[in-house]
Structure 1
Amino acid sequence: MRPAIIRKPAEQSVTPNWDDSAAARAAFSWQAQAGELCGLPGGGLNLAYEAVDRHAQGRRRQHVALRLLDRNGGRCDISYARLSSLSNRFANVLKGLGVQPGERLFVLCGRGLELYLGVLGGLKLGCVVCPLFSAFGPEPIETRLRIGEGSVLLTSEALYRRKVAGIRERLPQLRQVLLYEDNGGAVDTPPGTLSLAQLLAEASDDFAITPTTADTPALLHFTSGTTGTPKGALHVHGAALTHLVTGKYALDLHPDDIYWCSADPGWVTGTSYGILAPLLLGVTSVVDSGEFDAERWYSILETQGVSVWYTAPTAIRMLMKAGAELARRHRFPRLRFIASVGEPLNPEAVWWGQDVLGLPIHDNWWQTETGGIMLANTLAMPIKPGSMGKPLPGVEAAIVSRDEQGGLILLGDETVGELALKQPWPALFRGYLGQEERYRRCFVGDWYLSGDLARRDADGYYWFVGRSDDVIKSAGHLIGPFEVESALLEHPAVAEAAVIGLPDALLGETVKAFVSLKSGIEPSAALHDELLGHGRKRLGAAVAPKALAFLPDLPRTRSGKLMRRLLKARELGLPEGDTSTLENPR
């Protein structure tokens, strides 16, 4: 086991925004941080105003807000002033169509300018905006539009024809559909649709933002990777404060950074930290319209001078699979900070970043429901590879269990329990659409219960054990999948691993592992036995997998989460449940 990684001051090109001292934590208050937000001129708070207009009206008006990269190598820079006027136009388009504040605007777009105009213009009008992942098929799009009661949809002509036209008649509440052409050309508008380009050309650059407050609904995010119907989590304009603070302290964003969040805004990470947090802090965001390609990604980091990069464990493992030699053909002199989220980051990936990219990868933890990063390995603290880090300032975390009356017991260090957060904080979600009872079950007294099992060590670092329904109970042991998967990933042949518990008459459950191998390595009986032996050596016989199978790819959601419950359903012949968010259905 390698030691913690300590970043020495000489290795840091800028002074970290957060010093992680006891005094700094004690001095922090959300109220004091709120002073960094301007508020609407007439009173109130609006996410889009804080993210764009306050910069457009000040010294950073000509600073680049978005650096748009197309799939063919083209680049277009959009200043804060230009982004303000264009999002004003989109807000005027909506208003001219009779769209009212509070209506649900769904944005089904690729990673391009229209996506940003939809989100920001919708927020300016006071709509509840829901970005959708453009790779969704018709069924998950229909489900979300129906649950969310979407009345307006912004999408491209191609996406509309492929994914929406066939379900339109089943969505009577969808009144307006705005279409654009991906290549910027004239759009052919099918019946019941309107041309975005034409409406924008006719709209004014001036718009009086609808009065909203910190408690006004702003964003709707659907959870992924669960059984049953997706849950729509509702967030408010006050979340701006969490995005701003966590962008500073967890991602260490500074005004002159070139920042790249590779998450699609169809997921909460891509909205909170791909759109809002960098704009709130006035930095330049790289927006790549292309799909994952290791060579392309390394080229973006190099040619665009990216200084802060926020990505996902799945992408990191895909880069690892592509090999260190490819990475070493490139130079990243400006890159100073890499962070990851989506699921726990295995220790080997943290060390790969240090060894290959010259920087460790800083894992952090949060959920759709929390709205923003809650725990993180920040720049100013030693990284314990495999740890989620410590609670950020303003966040109080605990490991808890329930007593017989349903109350909570606070557990001590090195004890596995449920990760809980003390409310409130500005980005905490305000409800699940149409599921009030399910929402209430998330809380006991002042505590939000995450559903994740974890432990805290003596230094205050938190360690992910597993989702409560993923933890394996074998012969009296509670076995966290993440620990077993991390041990398997230490083997040089393994690219990805997932483990599940299978029923056993004697032990209750036994551990079975599913492994995807690195490029060029073929499955064999000898490798099968070698991996089982490696697991026993690293974990002990009680915890190590008893069975192992090779798979070319592991099932994941498009946001990067391992679908262990799907592996278990397939192994036991059970219903697979909601698979609308799967990246690779079979």
Structure 2
Amino acid sequence: MRCETIRKDPVPGVTPNLADYEQARSGFTWSRAREELAGLPGGGLNIAHEAVDRHARPGHGDKIALRCIARDDTFSTVTYAELARRTARFANALRSLHLGHGDRVFTLLGRCPELYTAVLGTLKNTSVLCPLFSAFGPDPVEQRLRLGDARLLVTTAALYRRKVAERRSSLPGLDHVLIVGPGAEELPGTVSFDELMSAAPDTFTIPPTSPDDMALLHFTSGTTGTPKGAVHVHEAVVAHYATAAYALDLHPGDVYWCTADPGWVTGMSYGIVAPLVHGVTLVVDEGDYDARRWYRILGEQRVSVWYTAPTALRMLMRATPRHGPYDLPRSYDLSDLRFIASVGEPLNPEAVLWGQEVLGLPVHDNWWQTETGCIMIANFVACDIRPGSMGRPLPGVEAAVLERGEDGRALITDGRVTLVENPDVEGELALRPG
């Protein structure tokens, strides 16, 4: 489907972080991007310090970090100061269990406040965080726990019973299981998350952290074989920050909602780390997809930047077709919504146009992978959109399409590759290292 290019008009009152694409690319350096972050006192770089502690200083810590919506629609908030205390408690809890630098901490949780505490507390402790998709079956859970050399797992009683308990004996390295919510007393070999947290101090000094220290371990989906582990270090926070500024156009006053599951890289990089590093307010919905629920959250929470997936958009399209009545979205005040982005698979042009017609905003596709850990190519808020295109490389990223050989892979001759220069020619997408 070929569509007309969507021309952009400036959003009143909001100056894009990337207003001039060519100027941004020519003036960008990764060293300058690094200077936007605080760094640890005394030197070093730690993701949790950038995401939480630097925002929790006196006079700023009362800003809302998390707006949490439970399945039953009960609502709670967590300030940056409170998140700093909770994550300090978790880091101290890990120390009490003799977990430290480099030890692997796995989470098997949905979008609950305890997940954010565990993720960021693990990083404070300079341990390594590995998130698991809560909808995984017992086999992929066991496989990843074993491949990742898990020492501690944070989960719920129900998930532990269904997916881990019967396989615990095959995981001799899994020393500890923390149970969020009730049930730990009925499960041998587990400890109550809440009880461990209540006994831990709420202050913690982050140990010296090298930018090259391992921070996050993600696994690919495993659809083409054994899941591959992708390691991301604390220095990755520089790219999280820069790409969220450019590709998602995050500003300090934004209310941001990422619908991706935290068990996958999108839900970690842009559902937890990047928005908190920018100091925005993050919407956390524990419930499952429901069209009315989603529109209600967008309206009632005054969401300004929304990051979702093509599958979710297509479900909304079926509930609210382009050429039908728009009663559902018009039942809610979506006037604060100024930017929509999507990732996870190619975004069909119809979804881009649907956003423009039904929500008044086009959907901005972007591309990256578990291995990159952050957005590489994107459509930007100030740039026109060609529906069906994933956009252009971010500042600091050099991408090209390479000629393919007979095996379908990039053709390498005498150690060199050949770029595809002509339109309508398929090739292999490549990124220049560094």
Normalising by the smaller structure, the TM-score range is over 0.9
* 2:365 aligned residue (363, 386, 398): 363
* Aligned-residue offset at 1:7: 1.7
How many residue pairs get matched? 420
> AA paired with 1:161?
R
Query: Of the two, which has the highest radius of gyration?
Result: 1
Does residue 417 (structure 1) correspond to residue 427 (structure 2)? The answer is: yes
Residues 56 and 84 in structure 1, CA contact (< 8 A), matched pair in contact too: yes
Deviation at 1:157, TM superposition (A): 1.4
Q: Which residue number corresponds to residue 195 of structure 2?
A: 198
3-state SS, counterpart of residue 36 of structure 1 = coil
Alpha-carbon displacement from aligned partner over 1:456-475 (angstroms, at most 9, x marks no partner): xxxxxxxxxxxxxxxxxxxx
Q: Deviations over 1:241-292 (max 9, x none)?
A: 0010111110001001000000011000000000000000000000000011
C-alpha distance in structure 2 between counterparts of 1:339 and 1:21, whole Å: 18
The aligned counterpart of 1:340 is 342
| Alpha-carbon displacement from aligned partner over 1:510-546 (angstroms, at most 9, x marks no partner) | xxxxxxxxxxxxxxxxxxxxxxxxxxxxxxxxxxxxx
CA–CA distance in 1 between the matches of 2:222 and 2:295? 29
Give ranges in structure 1 of 5+ residues lacking alignment: 425-586
- The within-5 A match list for 1:270-285 is 270-285=267-282
Q: CA deviation at 1:189?
A: 4.5
- Tell me which amino acid in the other structure corresponds to 1:213: S
Dislocated runs of 4+, deviation >2 Å: 20-24, 185-189, 323-331, 403-407
Identity %: 57
SS at 1:116's partner residue? helix
CA-to-aligned-CA distance 1:346-404 (integer Å, 9 cap, x gap): 00000000010110000000001111001100001001100010111111111113134
3-state SS of the aligned residue for 1:224?
A: coil
Structure 1 counterpart of 2:248: 251
Amino acid in the other structure paired with 1:162: R
For 2:347, what is the secondary structure of its paired residue?
coil
Report the 3-state secondary structure (helix = DSSP H, G, I; strand = E; otherwise coil) of the residue aligned with 2:387: coil
8 Å contact from structure 2 (residues 70, 287) kept in 1? yes
What is residue 296 of structure 1 aligned with on the other side? 293
CA contact (8 A) 2:3 2:386 kept: no
Describe the superposition over 1:289-317 as per-residue Cα deviations: whole angstroms up to 9, x where unpaired: 00111110011001110000000000000
- Confirm or deny that 1:98 pairs with 2:98: yes
Q: 1:153 touches 1:174 (CA, 8 Å); kept in 2?
A: yes
Alignment of 1:58-137 (within 5 A): 59-137=59-137
How do residues 298-447 of structure 1 correspond to structure 2 at under 5 angstroms? 298-324=295-321, 325=326, 326-401=328-403, 402-405=411-414, 407-414=416-423, 415-424=425-434
Decide whether the 8 Å contact of 2:300 with 2:333 is kept in 1.
Answer: no
Change (3 A) 1:108 1:399: same
C-alpha distance in 1, partners of 2:226/2:366?
27
How far apart, CA to CA, are the structure 2 residues paired with 1:343 and 1:290?
A: 23
Distance 2:205 2:428 in 1: 45
Contact 1:106–1:150 (8 Å) recurs in 2: yes
- Residue equivalent to 1:493: none
C-alpha distance in 2 between matches for 1:72 and 1:195: 23
Say yes or no: does 1:6 pair with 2:7: yes
Q: Report the equivalent of 2:407.
A: none
The one-letter amino acid of 1:416's match is E
Instruction: Supply the AA of the counterpart residue of 1:303.
Output: E
Contact 1:106 1:129 (8 Å CA) reproduced: yes
Q: Structure 2 length as normaliser, TM-score?
A: 0.94
Is the Cα–Cα contact under 8 Å of residues 89 and 204 in structure 2 kept in the other structure? yes
Deviates more, 1:363-372 or 1:218-227: 218-227
8 Å CA contact 2:185, 2:191 repeated in 1: no
Q: Which of 225, 235, 238 pairs up with 1:241?
A: 238
Q: Which residue of 1 aligns with 2:266?
A: 269
Q: Distance in 2 between matches of 1:285 and 1:170?
A: 38
TM-score, length-normalised on structure 1? 0.70
Structure-2 separation of matches of 1:139 and 1:85: 35
Distance 2:24 2:266 in 1: 27
| Equivalent-residue separation in structure 1 for 2:141 and 2:345 (angstroms) | 24
Amino acid at match of 1:418: E
> Would the alpha carbon gap of residues 224 and 13 (structure 1) be closer, same or farther in structure 2, given more than 3 Å must change?
farther
Checking the alignment, whether the CA contact within 8 Å between 1:354 and 1:360 is kept in structure 2 is yes
SS across alignment from 2:257: strand
Match of 1:56 in 2: 56
Using the alignment, how far apart are the partners of 1:162 and 1:225 within structure 2?
A: 21
Structure 1 equivalent of residue 408 of structure 2: none
Deviation at 1:416, TM superposition (A): 2.1
Match of 2:165 in 1: 165
Q: Could you tell me how far 1:210 is from its partner in structure 2?
A: 2.1
Aligned-residue offset at 1:330: 2.7
Compared CA separation, residues 59 and 249, structure 1 to 2 (3 A): farther
2:307 match: secondary structure = strand
Aligned partners of 2:60 and 2:74: how far apart in 1? 24
Note if contact 1:328-1:356 (Cα within 8 Å) is conserved in structure 2.
Answer: no
Q: Give the structure, 1 or 2, with the largest relative contact order (CA under 8 Å, sep 6 or more).
A: 2
Partners of 1:189 and 1:28 lie apart in 2 by 55
Q: State the one-letter code of the partner of 1:140.
A: P
Alignment partner of 1:43: what SS? coil
SS at match of 2:185: coil
Provide the C-alpha distance between the structure 2 equivalents of 1:264 and 1:189, rounded to a whole number of angstroms: 28
* Aligned residue number for residue 148 of structure 2: 148
Alignment partners' CA distance in 2, 1:122 and 1:393: 30
In structure 2, what is the Cα distance between the partners aligned to 1:420 and 1:170? 39
**How far apart, in 2, do the equivalents of 1:400 and 1:2 lie?**
26
* Cα distance between partner residues in 1 of 2:191 and 2:49: 27
Indicate conservation of the 8 Å contact 2:222/2:228, yes or no.
Answer: no
SS at match of 2:76: strand
1:406 deviates by 5.1
Contact 2:177/2:189 (<8 A) preserved: yes
Q: Aligned partners of 1:374 and 1:228: how far apart in 2?
A: 25
User: Secondary structure at the residue paired with 1:192?
Assistant: coil
1:336, distance to aligned residue in structure 2 (A) = 0.4
Query: Matches of 2:346 and 2:391 in 1, distance apart?
Result: 11
- 5+ residue gaps, structure 2, are 404-410
Q: Is the 8 A contact 1:13 1:336 kept in 2?
A: no
* Counterpart AA for 2:428: E
